[in-house]
Amino acid sequence: MDYQELLKKYIEGKAGREETKQLLDYLIAHPDEKVPGFVEQVWKEANAQTGEEAMYEEIFQNLEQKIQTPKPVNFSARHRHLPKRRNPLIYWFTIAASLTVLLVSVYLINQSLQPQKKDVVSKPQPEVVTHANPEGQKTQFYLPDGSSVWLNAGSTLRFQKSFEGKTRDVKLEGEAYFEVQHNPAKPFRVHSEKVVTEALGTSFNVRAYPEESKVNVALNTGKVRVDYDEEDDSGQNLVLKPGDGAIFNKEKRSLQSFQFNPKKEFGWKEGLILFEQASFDEVFDELKRWYGVEFTFISQPQDPNWKYTGEFEKQPLSNVLQSIGYTKKFDYRISKKKVRITFL
């Protein structure tokens, strides 16, 4: 049955129990339906008329027009059978009361169907500090607990403005050397890729550039534990003593210990570049990051097993390229931040 027919029958008191239920179901399913809208309009228009009979006639003419019943209503016939002294205002308020009961019912049903909202108190998030070095720049700074950090070129370190909770956590992308303030009750943890390095009070280096295939941890003093931080491979960890290092292979997802050259692992923060049997990519990636330049190769080396060993301390790029070029047979040209390499 049409919704407006049901509404009309309900207003006239002719709707049965099943029809009233259908009307309620319709209104619950269509909560935006403006049920009393046209009734209010009729009321306003009727009040503009003068005289009781004119108002009564206007109300029912507009109701029948707005409801749009399929069968025309003979108003004059209905009017002839109404008691002469019947007050149209009483009839109007009967309609209004009927609609009020209907709408209140719909509202209460809709409210009962709504999920109960619980007051959620949002916990303020701790402020995060980010230190980011572009290529060609190195910095040294202190963490909130007084620990010292040397951050290498092309690296980023994130940490809370004030360390909260039971640990002191930092997130590293790139390379950094840490001198950690001793606090057994609050371990210091460096998150780099899938590797977590935990220390109480010690100094160590972590190298974890996204473009490289390995993550290196080298311990200088104290004691650290290195964990592979992934659920399906939990249990992989190493405890390092001074002079020990840990290598995490990203492809193989394996963690192994190694012995290292302290100058190679820690020398960068003192301005030392050290290559030990470094490949072509390793040498020029390091120089790119160290000096903040872009290399263009006009030609490539002919030796497929190209390796280089050398050491440079606080040298300008031109001196480094001159030395490597003499050994590995290439010319170079520097133009601001652009470098052209031509192998002979």
Query: Is the confidence at residue 205, as pLDDT, over 50?
Result: yes
**Residue 155 or residue 254, greater confidence:** 155
168 pLDDT band (50/70/90 cuts)? very high
| Segments making up each domain of the chain, as ranges | 3-113, 128-266, 271-343
Of 129, 234, 201, 133, give the one whose Cα is nearest residue 171. Answer: 129
Mean pLDDT over each residue of the chain, to the nearest integer = 78
Of all residues in the chain, the percent with pLDDT exceeding 90 is: 51
Structural contact between residues 321 and 332, judged by C-beta atoms closer than 8 angstroms = yes
pLDDT for the residue numbered 19: 72
* Residue 194: per-residue pLDDT: 85
Identify the pLDDT of residue 61: 55
Question: Which of 6-20 are b and which e, b meaning 16 or more Cβ less than 10 Å from the residue's Cβ?
Answer: bbbbbbeeebeeeee
Residue-wise pLDDT tens digits, 29-56: 665 555 555 444 434 444 454 444 454 4
- Are 222 and 243 a contacting pair, CB within 8 Å? no
Identify residue 110 by its one-letter amino acid code: N
pLDDT exceeds cutoff 70 at 232? no
Where is pLDDT greater, at 230 or 206? 206
Mean pLDDT of 4-15: 66
CATH 3.55.50.30 fits 271-343, yes or no: yes
Helical pair 3-11 and 52-67, crossing angle rounded to 10 deg:
150
Average pLDDT over residues 289-296: 95
Rounded distance, CA 200 to CA 205, Å?
15
Q: May I ask the CATH architecture of the domain 128-266?
A: Sandwich (2.60)
Q: What percent of the chain clears pLDDT 70, i.e. is strictly above it? A: 63
Q: What is the pLDDT of residue 233?
A: 54
pLDDT over threshold 70, residue 98: no
One fold for 128-266 and 271-343:
no
Task: Report pLDDT for 103.
Answer: 56
Q: What is the mean pLDDT of residues 72-89?
A: 47
